[in-house]
Amino acid sequence: MNIRSLSNALKQNWKAVLYIGLAGIWLAWDIHHAQSDTSGLYKTSVLASSATFKSPAATTVAIVRSNDALLSNPCNVTDDQITYATVSQMVRRAVELTGGLSRIIKIGDTVLIKPNLVQQDSSGSGGVTDVRVVKALVYLIDEIAPGKIKIIVGDGSARPYTSFERNTGTNKAAWAQLFDVPGYQALKTEALASGIDFRLSNLNGNSDVNPWAELDSVVVPNSQATPQNGAYFVHKDVTHASVYISVPVLKIHEQPGFTNALKNQIGLAAGSKYGFSKTSGVAQEGYKHKLLHNAQDPYDWQDKEIVDLSTIARIKYTVVDALVCLETQKTPQYNAGDRSNRKISNRIVMNTILAGEDPVAVDNVGCRIIGVNPDDIEHITLAERVGLGTNSPDSITIVGATIEQTKRRFKKPTGQQGLYGQSNRVWLLTGPFVAASNADMNTPLITPEASVSPVAGQNAWSQPIYFTNDQIMLKDYFGVGSSGKYVSYAFTYVNAPADQQAVLWIGSDEDIKVYLNEQAVYTYTGMRTFTSEYFKDTSTVINLKKGVNKLLVKAYQSTGSYNFSLNICEVEPNTMYRGSRVSGLKFTTSNTIVGVNQNAANQPAAFSLSDCYPNPFNPTTRISYTVGVRSAVTIKIFDIAGREVRVLVDNERQAGSYDVLWNASSFSSGVYFCRFVAQPQERSGGHAVTLVKKMMLMK
């Protein structure tokens, strides 16, 4: 057949060609979907009451910026030439504001410091933990008992070093000397010369021959990442440490959205077993062990692996390097013609240090500083759920600088996973109802439908159910097959901080309808793509009222996956920042909870110590302070030599704001320091809060 004849034949049979083409596309999609559909392999929902979450314990997080007036060498927070002297003072002040390290580190302890050394970036790039932060911490620890505390700085870098690691099948660039590019070899030399009991450790295994002998197989109680069967290979330096300190660098991350105190523990999964970068396995054992991250659509394991490894770490303290941070992604975006740090396009100079004992609380504060809602980060909310710390702002006292003083909004990742945030995970459910067709989506199958206000465990509604993924997997929960037609309902209350517009982000692969406060606000009919890499199919503007709102989802199943996802986000026209859950919004399955901020008058304020006024003064000045909860409070004055010269307050104080006057008529001109110490009395686990202000008496 010649070309003209073929052309005529195609014209005459264009419908057949079109149908064959469409059928081929559908078949290819169906085969791909069948191959990638692993639904049913793992349990995707549990009773929400199964959480090991504890009542939030009061905790303190310090924020210290380089322009802090109490530093001996302050500098501008955007100064790209910050010195080690300033960094050291910032670390010291942050640690002291949270009560110091001598409470958790004793003579004879072995302290493991875990920086983020994912690749061969230099300090100051934002890609790795700045060695100056770790150096300051090393010297601060050694001061507790000079030469009598074993200090290990270690990471399981995603880049190989030993001969064993270079033969694992990786093509990643290797370290010339362990952690040399950011300056950790130089730190080792200096620390040893100073008499510090110090060593570097490759947490993948230090041996060229048999690194596996250095590893422990650790069983995680209540493991979250099911495919790992509850066990991980980690270095003995981790399991044998008396005190574990996480020292991450604050960054945006493409997949979990945020990396800081908790995410830093991914480096504990030994590369000599899991490969480089942790998801490939190693040739020496046939690529058997791997972290899965998001390799099993529709399951997402990365945040759960983070929580498991953080459980193993038993984090006692966190110091965050927020001197230089990265937005949009975890890797520095170098200029092709100039690879100097200053030319990195996603690099943000912050000159800030965070510190605290509770890694979940530290991550909560870190998120809020860079404009991320911590409720959108699964490993933060999951870590709270399993009892690793608190994600409740009401339980976190911030000392030093405030979030508002420090805050700078970072650009979010461009990929869907980091952009989406987190679907609401806890729902009341009823169904499934057998459906004749999707026409039943227009027929109420419960009465009343739009105005229903279900009570957990009553009238065929479930107890609160926690779903382990952003996709709410109704097929798995109800145990229905792929061929039947069903309709089911999912319900939650939404506590909103104000009357406001918001954006409903929603995804599904088949028909879905959403009611808000008894009105249908979104309806979709048909089929569409819905995968773990694309949680949001569409968004629509909704109106929330302050306090309790009712939200009902009606979902249809015929041949799809019977899943949906839903989040309620801020109205944000700029695509670089959109996708964050409304700040202060909380999903709940009970309408008895007071609306967010409605009881603000009863909430404890943060502890604070204001600058005295006037300052300089002669001879009297007023000192104002705030007590967050009932506490034993002391306010003392010290001279420049550190001698206590006057006690102004030494009493118990209820929550509230107070003033005290200091008449310094009998004192000489000079610099004095006002030290405020509050020991909370009302909540167990609260640590003392210490705040200091400098004053100048001029006669």
Residue 187 structure tokens: 């730190």
Q: Residue 357, exposed/middle/buried by CB under 10 A (0-12, 13-18, 19+)?
A: buried
Q: How far apart are CA 307 and CA 256, in angstroms?
A: 12
Task: Answer whether residue 519 shows pLDDT above 50.
Answer: yes
pLDDT band at residue 297 using 50, 70 and 90 as cut-offs: confident
Percent of the chain past pLDDT 70, that is, above it, reads 90
pLDDT band at 594 (very low <50, low <70, confident <90, very high): very low
Residue 105 has pLDDT above 90, yes or no: yes
Q: Which amino acid is at 389?
A: G
CA 330 to CA 332: how far, in whole Å?
7
Tens digit of each residue's pLDDT (9 = 90 or more) over 440-475: 999 999 989 999 999 999 999 999 999 999 999 999
Beta bridge partners of 622: 613, 661
User: CB of 178 within 8 A of CB of 184?
Assistant: yes
Contact (Cβ atoms closer than 8 angstroms) between residue 318 and residue 355: yes
* Residue 49, pLDDT score: 87
Q: Does the pLDDT of residue 223 top 70, yes or no?
A: yes
Compute the distance between CA of residue 308 and CA of residue 224 in angstroms, rounded to an integer.
6
Distances (CA, A) of 374 to 155, 259, 411, 548: 25, 11, 15, 21
Strand order, beta sheet including 656-663: 608-609, 620-627, 656-663
Yes or no: say if 661 and 623 are a contact pair by the CB < 8 Å rule: yes
Top pLDDT among 483 and 240 is at 240
Averaged over 375-395, what is the pLDDT? 94
Question: How large is the average pLDDT for residues 182-186?
Answer: 98
- Report the distance separating Cα 634 and Cα 651, nearest Å: 7
Q: What is the mean pLDDT of the chain?
A: 88
| Whether the model pTM is above 0.85 | no
**What is the per-residue DSSP string for 28-44?**
HHHHHHHHH--TTSS--
pLDDT-based confidence at residue 6 (cuts at 50, 70, 90): very low
Q: What is the mean pLDDT of residues 77-92?
A: 97
566: pLDDT strictly greater than 90: yes
Is 232:167 a contact under the CB 8 Å cutoff? no
The whole-number pLDDT of residue 48 equals: 92
Q: How confident is the model at residue 416 (pLDDT cuts 50, 70, 90)?
A: low
What's the pLDDT band for 71 if we cut at 50, 70, 90? very high
Q: What is the pLDDT of residues 8-44, one digit of tens each?
A: 443 444 444 344 344 443 333 333 333 344 555 788 9
pLDDT digits (tens, 9 = 90+) for 321-356: 999 999 999 999 999 888 899 899 999 999 999 999
Confidence of residue 55 (pLDDT cuts 50, 70, 90): low
Phi, psi angle pair for 87, to nearest 5°: -60, -45
Residues 6 or more apart in contact with residue 547 via CB below 8 angstroms: 495, 496, 594, 595, 596, 598
pLDDT of res. 247: 98
pLDDT confidence band for 643 (50 / 70 / 90): confident
Question: How many Å apart are CA 513 and CA 437, to the nearest integer?
Answer: 15
In tens, the pLDDT along 623-638 reads: 988 888 888 899 999 8
Dist. CA 510–CA 556, nearest whole Å: 6
**What pLDDT, on the 0 to 100 scale, is given for residue 8?**
43
pLDDT of residue 593: 44
Q: Which long-range contacts (CB under 8 A, 24 or more apart) does 176-183 make?
A: 178/202, 179/117, 179/153, 179/155, 181/120, 181/121, 181/122, 182/117, 182/121, 182/122, 182/123, 182/128, 182/129, 182/130, 182/131, 183/122, 183/123, 183/131
Residue 534 pLDDT: 60
Closest CA to 248 of 265, 269, 236: 265
pLDDT at 517 over 50: yes
pLDDT at 525 exceeding the cut of 60: yes
Asked if residue 122 lies in contact with residue 181, where contact means CB atoms within 8 angstroms, the answer is yes
Task: Please list, in sequence order, all residues whose beta carbon lies within 8 angstroms of the beta carbon of residue 589, skipping any fewer than 6 positions away.
Answer: 48, 426, 427, 428, 456, 464, 491, 492, 493
Q: How far apart are CA 542 and CA 178, in angstroms?
A: 53
Q: What single letter denotes the amino acid at residue 89?
A: Q
Q: Which domains does the chain have, with CATH numbers?
A: 59-420 (3.40.50.11440), 426-596 (2.60.120), 604-697 (2.60.40.2550)
Segment of 259-273, 404-418, 557-571 carrying the highest mean pLDDT: 259-273
Q: What is the DSSP code string of 115-149? A: E---SS--TTSSSS--HHHHHHHHHHHHHHSTT-S
- How is residue 531 annotated by DSSP? B
Q: Given pLDDT bands bounded at 50, 70 and 90, which one contains residue 245?
A: very high
- In one-letter notation, the amino acid at residue 285 is E
Among 580, 593, 382, CA closest to 495: 593
The 10s digit of each residue's pLDDT in 617-626 is: 898 888 988 8
pLDDT number for residue 592: 58
Work out the average pLDDT over 282-295: 92
pLDDT for res 337: 84
For residue 115, whether the previous peptide bond is cis, meaning omega lies within 30 degrees of 0, is no
Q: Model confidence at 312, in pLDDT bands (50, 70, 90)? A: very high
Q: Is the pLDDT of residue 601 over 80?
A: no
Beta strand 215-219 pairing with 231-235 = antiparallel
Q: How confident is the model at residue 53 (pLDDT cuts 50, 70, 90)?
A: low
For the residues 511-517, what does the mean pLDDT come to? Answer: 97
